């Protein structure tokens, strides 16, 4: 059995991490369940624990030159717009009203879909990403947002795309001496967001399939698009070829025969990269069908958005 430490700040945490290789512990909503013993007993950990949930440097939401920075230990409740959690964050000066207002609906909705209220006050994006589950909801949203993960060590930081950081369930590129400090991504003015998670029960349901989509729109045409599917393979799947087929789309393309051909092609390309597996939660066939239904729903939502923007 190891020790547990609660460092005062990030600098101390990084020294401890470097010297002891202790296991980072944020909200504990994964770790406490994974290391659970019998009823009436605490968990059992082989390694020392390094608590990071309270570190000020990991709890900030910052708006900086068109980019949003979300600390690794910002509770999901703050991202999901729980008014009490946000009030606390504002009172502690971890976030400003402006920064909170920039959180795109894609991230807000994904955080809101993560478990139930009592879970969201503890669970963190750092834990969700470090877990690297292909069913991680906030991980899927961050991949769709093209976010970078900022990894801190005692002598500096490095940055890499969130998707590259994850290698497969439970596996990441986190080095022994590093902690996830934050995530960063641009939030353009004219954006389009889509989020849908399909699970069994409303709360606490493990995601069977999810789709997070994020686009930027310029003068009524789609300028960029990313489509991130969750729980359809060992990692989050970005359907980039499908997304490329749709670039430059405007309202009329959803009706024209050329546009329809491109949409059908895009769907085929999406189908090619989705390779779900059978498991106890559902079959591969079910997952693929649902994933493609979500794709169609996202396109309808996009068409509606472009229409409403061109109307005014």
Of 25, 183, 249, 254, the one binding other proteins (CB under 8 A) is 25
Cβ atoms 193, 141 nearer than 8 A: no
86 vs 181, beta carbon nearer other proteins? 86
Q: Does 119 bind other proteins (CB under 8 A)?
A: yes
Interatomic CA distance for residues 246 and 263, integer angstroms = 7
Of 85, 100, 213, 294, the one binding other proteins (CB under 8 A) is 85
Buried/exposed 266-299: b ≥16 CB within 10 Å, e otherwise: bbebbeebbebeeeebbeeeebbebbbebbeebb
Interatomic CA distance for residues 51 and 20, integer angstroms = 13
Phi and psi (nearest 5°) for 57?
Answer: -65, -20
Q: Does 286 bind other proteins (CB under 8 A)?
A: no
Binding segment for other proteins (CB under 8 A), chosen from 80-88, 139-147, 221-229, 282-290, is 80-88
Q: Report 228-247 residues binding other proteins (CB under 8 A).
A: none
Interatomic CA distance for residues 238 and 166, integer angstroms = 13
Interatomic CA distance for residues 150 and 162, integer angstroms = 9
Binding segment for other proteins (CB under 8 A), chosen from 23-31, 99-107, 230-238, 269-277, is 23-31
> Total residues contacting other proteins (rule CB under 8 A)?
37
Residue identified by tokens 């949930």 is 53
Interatomic CA distance for residues 212 and 222, integer angstroms = 16
Q: Report 182-221 residues binding other proteins (CB under 8 A).
A: 202-204
Q: Does 49 bind other proteins (CB under 8 A)?
A: yes
Interatomic CA distance for residues 16 and 5, integer angstroms = 9
Q: How far is the CB of 85 from ligand FAD (least distance, A)?
A: 14
Cβ atoms 63, 55 nearer than 8 A: no
Residue 8 has, within 13 A of its CA and on its CB side, a CA count of: 0
Interface contacts to ligand FAD, rule CB under 6 A = 23-31, 33, 52, 58, 72, 114-115, 119, 122-124, 126-128, 130-131, 136-137, 174, 179-180, 204, 207
6 vs 154, beta carbon nearer other proteins? 6
Of 122, 154, 262, 307, the one binding other proteins (CB under 8 A) is 122
| Residue 271 interaction partner, one of other proteins, ligand FAD, none, beta carbon < 5-8 Å per kind | none
Give the pair of three-digit tokens for residue 238.
């970005």
Of 28, 127, 134, 212, the one binding other proteins (CB under 8 A) is 28
Q: Does 171 bind other proteins (CB under 8 A)?
A: no
> What Å distances lie between residue 307 and 174, 187, 219, 251, 302, CA to CA?
43, 21, 12, 5, 8
128 vs 250, beta carbon nearer ligand FAD? 128
Cβ atoms 153, 119 nearer than 8 A: no
Q: How far is the CB of 39 from other proteins (least distance, A)?
A: 5
Interatomic CA distance for residues 106 and 124, integer angstroms = 16
Give the pair of three-digit tokens for residue 39.
């009823």
Q: How far is the CB of 150 from ligand FAD (least distance, A)?
A: 10
| Residue 4 interaction partner, one of ligand FAD, other proteins, none, beta carbon < 5-8 Å per kind | other proteins
Name the residues that contact other proteins, by CB under 8 A: 1, 3-4, 6, 25, 27-29, 32-33, 36, 39-43, 45, 49, 51, 53-54, 77, 82-85, 88, 115-119, 121-122, 202-204
């Amino acid at each position: 059995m190891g020790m547990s430490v609660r460092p005062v700040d990030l600098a101390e945490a990084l020294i401890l991490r470097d010297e002891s290789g202790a296991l980072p512990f944020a909200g504990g909503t994964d770790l406490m369940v994974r290391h659970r013993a019998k009823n009436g007993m605490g968990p059992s950990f082989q390694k020392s624990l390094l608590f990071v949930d309270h570190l000020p440097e990991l709890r900030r939401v910052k708006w900086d030159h068109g980019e949003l920075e979300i600390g690794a230990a910002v509770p999901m409740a703050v991202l999901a717009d729980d008014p009490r959690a946000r009030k606390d964050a504002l009172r502690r000066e971890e976030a400003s009203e402006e920064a909170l207002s920039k959180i795109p609906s894609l991230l807000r909705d994904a955080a809101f879909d993560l478990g139930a209220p009592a879970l969201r006050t503890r669970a963190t994006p750092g834990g969700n990403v470090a877990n690297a589950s292909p069913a991680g909801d906030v991980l899927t949203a961050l991949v769709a947002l093209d976010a970078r993960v900022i990894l801190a060590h005692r002598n500096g930081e490095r940055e890499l795309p969130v998707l590259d950081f994850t290698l497969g369930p439970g596996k990441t590129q986190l080095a022994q001496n590093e902690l996830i400090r934050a995530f960063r991504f641009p939030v353009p003015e004219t954006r389009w967001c889509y989020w849908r998670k399909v699970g069994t029960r409303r709360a606490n349901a493990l995601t069977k399939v999810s789709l997070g989509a994020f686009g930027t729109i310029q003068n009524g045409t789609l300028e960029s698009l990313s489509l991130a599917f969750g729980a359809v393979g060992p990692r989050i799947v970005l359907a980039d070829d499908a997304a490329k087929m749709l670039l430059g789309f405007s309202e009329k393309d959803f009706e024209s025969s050329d546009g329809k051909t491109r949409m059908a092609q895009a769907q085929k390309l999406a189908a090619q990269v989705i390779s779900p597996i059978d498991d106890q939660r559902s079959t591969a066939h079910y997952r693929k069908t649902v994933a493609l239904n979500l794709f169609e729903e996202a396109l309808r939502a996009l068409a509606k958005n472009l229409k409403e923007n061109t109307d005014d």
